[in-house]
Amino acid sequence: MNVLSRPPPAGVHTDYGATFPPKTLATLWALWAAFWLLMITVSIEDQLRDPLTRWWEPVLSEGSSALVSTGWMWLAVRVRGRYARYLDKPLIWFGSYLRWLPLVFITWITAVYAIRHGVYAAVGRTYEHPGWGFVVVYESLKLTYFTGLWLGILFGIDSYGQWQLQWRRLLQTQKALAEAQLAQLQGQLRPHFLFNALNTVSALMHTDVARADRLVAALGDLLRISLRSNEHEMTPLAEELHTLELYANVMLERFRDRVTLDWQIDQALLDIPVPALLLQPLLENVFKHGVEPTVAHVRIIVSARHESGSLEIVIGNSGSMLASEHRDGVGFRNCRERLGIIYGNTASLLVRNEGDGVATRVLIPLMDTIQ
């Protein structure tokens, strides 16, 4: 009767290797800007001591380098989507970029020196530099060094971005899988519950017509509630406990002589809104793991009370303990997720051994729920 269906997770549309989280690009350009700012500053500082040099000369020198380098960097960033699939093969990734290095040398040196010569000529001066042979070798070496450095940074940032995307995709896949399992579980539980309940009615009506009648009515109500409710709905605690009671009545009839159920409800709390159909799967769990596999008599206590600013609902059963390697099932995780969506981390759901049995404890913050 657990009707917890949820909308499909908001998907991040990605073609493998073509997209990166937007923050990675911002980080890259921020680093780039900081790098050139530093280069220009250092260069100005250096030249200030030389009285023959004007202030704009180092700015022009580094600025022209920065301008042309940024053009190449922009191109490198443009094609990074195409090379992203090689991120797990660094040699191929670096090779794909580095093969453009000769072209970079030629265009970079040509463009930078053209700008410098142009600007000097415009102010009526001559740009003096060592011979072209020296310039080509010196600048190529410098370019190789900085290209290597920045490719390394780009590689790091892109690898991290890809890892993030893949991690997110993995989480989504796991979530979808859990949902599929839940749907499957529901498909198995519901018919099983119904057929067994129907068989109980079929047995009872030969001996106690009034009881059989009550059982059919309870079943009908339960079906109506489970068809009507959805997980976004809130319902007063009284209503939720009534649903729980209907379910319990059917189960108590089935497991007559094996179970007793006591209610300890603080009547002052009955109007507090709680998520609809939150408790029924928890009680179902108690029957499935605490009653059905046990030969001994089981006592179940359902209590609701005010506990330091929270509504505390406990479903406890005697006679069975959690296995030491116990892991929460899909039903539990789903309930916990619902609580998280509605109340953030102020609500909790815990199941643990207490005394001679197991207690399932739900804590719902009171301040947020009073409307």
Partner 1 sequence: MIRAVIADDEAPAREKLERWVAEQPDMTVVGSSENGLSAAQCIEQLRPDVAFLDVQMPTLSGLQVAAQLEPSSAPLIVFVTAFDEHAVRAFDLNAVDYLLKPYDLDRFARTVQRVRERLDAHESGAIAVAIGRSRAPSCERLLVPDGERLQLIDAASVEWLQADDNYVHVHTAARDYLLRRTLQDLLSQLGEQRFVRIHKSTAVNLGSIGSLTPLFKGDYEIHLHNGRILRLSRRYREALFARMGQ
Pattern 213-252, partner 1, x by CB under 8 A: ----------------------------------------
Distance between CA atoms of 234 and 1, rounded to whole angstroms? Answer: 17
Least distance between partner 1 and beta carbon 206 (Å) = 7
Distance between CA atoms of 227 and 280, rounded to whole angstroms? Answer: 14
Helix orientation angle between 22-48 and 56-78, rounded to the nearest 10 degrees: 160
Q: Which of 66, 80, 87, 254 binds partner 1 (CB under 8 A)?
A: 254
Name the one range near partner 1 by CB under 8 A: 236-244, 254-262, 270-278, 323-331.
Answer: 254-262
Pattern 99-128, partner 1, x by CB under 8 A: ------------------------------
Q: Does the protein bind partner 1 through residue 203 (CB under 8 A)?
A: yes
Show contacts with partner 1 in window 134-193 (CB under 8 A). 188, 191-192
Least distance between partner 1 and beta carbon 295 (Å) = 5
Q: Extract the tokens encoding 12.
A: 């991040």
Q: Which of 174, 181, 202, 230 binds partner 1 (CB under 8 A)?
A: 202
Pattern 269-308, partner 1, x by CB under 8 A: -----------------------xxxx-------------
Distance between CA atoms of 101 and 8, rounded to whole angstroms? Answer: 47
3-state secondary structure at position 302: strand
Count of residues near partner 1 by CB under 8 A: 24
Instruction: Please state the φ and ψ torsions of residue 368, each to the nearest 5 degrees.
Output: -75, -25
Distance between CA atoms of 65 and 61, rounded to whole angstroms? Answer: 7
Show Cβ contacts of residue 247 under 8 Å, excluding neighbours closer than 6 positions.
1, 222, 280, 283, 284
CA-nearest of 135, 133, 147, 118 to 60 is 118
The binding site for partner 1 (CB under 8 A) comprises 188, 191-192, 195-196, 198-204, 206-207, 253-258, 292-295
